[in-house]
Amino acid sequence: MILGNFIGFARSARGTVTFSSSNSMDGIARSEIFCEATSEEVIEACERANQAFIEFSQLPNTSRGQFLRRIADLLQQQKENLEPIYCAESGLSPERFESELLRTLRQLYNFAELSESGAWRNASIDTSNPNQDPPKPDLRKMCIPIGPVVVFGASNFPLAYSTIGGDAAAALAVGCPVIIKAHPLHAATSDFVAALVVQAAEETGMPDGVFSHVHAKGFRVGTELVQHPFVKAVGFTGSLAGGRALFDLANNRTEPIPVFAEMGSVNPVFILPEFLQKEKENWVEMLANSMISGLGQFCTNPGLIFVIDNEVTDEFLQMLSSDFLSKVSTAMLHSSIKDRFDQGKLQMEIHGAEMHQSLGDMSDNVARQALGAIRAKQFIQNPKFQEEVFGPFTLIVRCSDMYDLASCVDVLNGQLTASILGSRDEIRFQNQLVIKLQNKVGRIIFNGVPTGVDIAPSMQHGGPYPASTDNRFGAVGIDSAQRFVRPVAYQNCPEDLLPEPLKNKNLFNIVRRVNGVFTADAINF
User: Which 387-446 residues touch its own copies, going by CB under 8 A?
Assistant: 414, 424, 427-428, 431, 434-436, 438-439, 441-446
* Whether the Cβ atoms of residue 21 and residue 184 lie closer than 8 Å to each other: yes
The interface mask with its own copies, positions 140-179, x = CB under 8 A, is: xx--x-xx--------------------------------
Closest separation between CB of residue 354 and its own copies, Å?
Answer: 29
Q: What is the DSSP letter of 129?
A: B
* Residues 463-492 within binding reach of its own copies (CB under 8 A): 464-466, 469-472, 474, 479, 482, 485-492
- Tell me the C-alpha distance between 35 and 247, whole Å: 26
Q: Does 77 bind its own copies (CB under 8 A)?
A: no
Q: Does 258 bind its own copies (CB under 8 A)?
A: yes
For residue 427, the SS3 value is: helix
Kindly state the helix (H) or strand (E) to which residue 308 belongs, with its residue range.
Answer: strand 304-308
* Residues 102-141 within binding reach of its own copies (CB under 8 A): 124-126, 134, 136-137, 139-141
* Whether the Cβ atoms of residue 344 and residue 337 lie closer than 8 Å to each other: no
For residue 6, the SS3 value is: strand
- Tell me the C-alpha distance between 456 and 476, whole Å: 8
Closest separation between CB of residue 88 and its own copies, Å?
Answer: 26
Task: Rank residues 214 and 226 by Cβ distance to its own copies and give the closer one.
Answer: 226
Among 60, 205, 218, 256, binds its own copies (CB under 8 A): 256
Of the candidates 141, 138, 139, the one whose C-alpha atom is nearest the C-alpha of residue 123 is 141
Which residues are designated catalytic? 262, 299
Kindly state the helix (H) or strand (E) to which residue 42 belongs, with its residue range.
Answer: helix 39-57
Task: Rank residues 39 and 515 by Cβ distance to its own copies and give the closer one.
Answer: 515
**For residue 144, which phi and psi values (nearest 5 degrees)?**
-125, 160
Closest separation between CB of residue 455 and its own copies, Å?
Answer: 10
Q: Does 326 bind its own copies (CB under 8 A)?
A: no
- Tell me the C-alpha distance between 274 and 276, whole Å: 5
Among 58, 326, 381, 509, binds its own copies (CB under 8 A): 58
Closest separation between CB of residue 204 and its own copies, Å?
Answer: 22
Alpha-helical regions (H) of 351-390? 376-381
CA 67 to chain centre: 22
Task: Rank residues 24 and 417 by Cβ distance to its own copies and give the closer one.
Answer: 417
Task: Rank residues 323 and 470 by Cβ distance to its own copies and give the closer one.
Answer: 470
- Tell me the C-alpha distance between 221 and 396, whole Å: 40
Kindly state the helix (H) or strand (E) to which residue 39 belongs, with its residue range.
Answer: helix 39-57
The interface mask with its own copies, positions 6-45, x = CB under 8 A, is: ----------------------------------------
- By CB under 8 A, which span of 30-38, 341-349, 363-371, 508-516 interacts with its own copies? 508-516
- Tell me the C-alpha distance between 232 and 251, whole Å: 12
Among 14, 493, 500, 508, binds its own copies (CB under 8 A): 493
